[in-house]
């Protein structure tokens, strides 16, 4: 099993550009989440999903959209990137309380 | 806002010593978990303690939970250089399922010198 995979690993955007961060899991987990991690801080929840077709907002959802059309995939969309979105983004999946994390995407917005 | 606050922010010890990290949280919880993050990598789950448990062990890890004080501690015994990492506590809310929805502390950076 690959576990949780994220692409790309690194990305540089200009202000105003859009992009999609991809996340996939092959463990048939119901629950998936997106977090961002800023220097010296823990993770903050952006959006999460409790199953295909069901998503909800976390602590810092502004500027991000998500969808969950399949159990496996949970993409995160930045519609108009801003420098404040420079961060490391982690996707996670779980069947219950324990979350499994992907390796992260390091995003820089200039 | 962050649910958990961790103390200390950084800890530097020698190999073989014990490392203790503390976490405080603000609201009622269903469970508290500890995760480890090696530099530049994703987080790895270490241990989970439920709100009705007071202490839990896993290998060299010992976790305690005091719900009256809203605090937890993680003890790593006989530390090794390979334990060098950041350690985060994370809480799941008390109401309904918290699956997929954790609140993380700011983390403790542990450095173990050979």
- Summarised one tens digit per residue, pLDDT across range B22-47 is 999 998 888 999 999 998 889 999 99
Chain B nearest-CA distance from A91, in A, is 9
- Tens of pLDDT along B48-80? 999 999 999 999 999 999 999 999 999 999 999
Average pLDDT over residues A66-73: 97
Give the number of other CB atoms < 10 A from CB of residue B113.
11
pLDDT surpasses 70 at A90: yes
Q: Decide: helix, strand or coil at residue B82.
A: helix
Tell me, what's the pLDDT at B4? 67
Residue B72 · residue B66 · CB < 8 Å:
yes
- Distances in Å between the Cα of A42 and the Cα atoms of A27, A54, B90, B94, B104 are 25, 26, 9, 21, 6
The pLDDT value given to residue B30: 87
Contacting residues of A for B34, CB less than 8 Å apart: none
Residue of A nearest to B47 (CA): A98
- Asked if B99 and A35 come within 8 Å (Cβ–Cβ), the reply is no
Strands (E), A1-110: 4-7, 10-13, 19-25, 31-37, 43-51, 54-57, 64-66, 76-78, 87-94, 100-101, 105-109
Q: How confident is the model at residue A85 (pLDDT cuts 50, 70, 90)?
A: very high
Residue B3 pLDDT? 59
In this structure, are residues A105 and A8 in contact, taking their beta carbons and an 8 Å threshold? yes
- In chain B, DSSP assigns E strands to 5-7, 10-14, 19-24, 29-37, 43-50, 55-58, 61-66, 71-76, 85-93, 102-104, 108-113
Residues of chain A neighbouring B48 (CB-CB closer than 8 A)? 97-98
- Whole-number Å distance between alpha carbons of B114 and A30: 42
Rounded CA-CA distance A49/A55 in Å is 4
Band of residue A96 on the pLDDT scale cut at 50, 70, 90: confident
Answer with the residue of higher pLDDT: A12 or B4: A12
A100 in B contact zone (CB under 8 Å): yes
The per-residue pLDDT for B98 is 67
Per-residue pLDDT at B106 exceeds 70: yes
């Amino acid at each position: 099993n690959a576990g949780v995979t994220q692409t790309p690993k690194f990305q540089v955007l200009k202000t105003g550009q859009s992009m999609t961060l991809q996340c996939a899991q092959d463990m048939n987990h119901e629950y998936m989440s997106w977090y961002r991690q800023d220097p010296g801080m823990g993770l903050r929840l952006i959006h999460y999903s409790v199953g295909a077709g069901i998503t909800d907002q976390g602590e810092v959802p502004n500027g991000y959209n998500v969808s969950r059309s399949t159990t496996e995939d949970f993409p995160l969309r930045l519609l108009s990137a801003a420098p404040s979105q420079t961060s490391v983004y982690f996707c996670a999946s779980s069947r219950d309380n324990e979350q499994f994390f992907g390796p992260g995407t390091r995003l820089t917005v200039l | 806002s962050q649910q958990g606050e961790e103390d200390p922010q950084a800890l530097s010890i020698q190999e073989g010593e014990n490392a203790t990290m503390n976490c405080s949280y603000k609201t009622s919880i269903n469970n508290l978990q500890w995760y480890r993050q090696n530099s530049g990598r994703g987080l790895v789950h270490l241990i989970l303690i439920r709100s009705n448990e007071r202490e839990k062990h896993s290998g060299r890890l010992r976790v305690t939970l005091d719900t009256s004080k809203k605090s937890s501690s993680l003890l790593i015994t006989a530390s090794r250089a390979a334990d060098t990492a950041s350690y985060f506590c994370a809480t799941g809310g008390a109401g309904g399922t918290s699956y997929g929805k954790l609140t993380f502390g700011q983390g403790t950076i542990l450095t173990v010198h050979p």
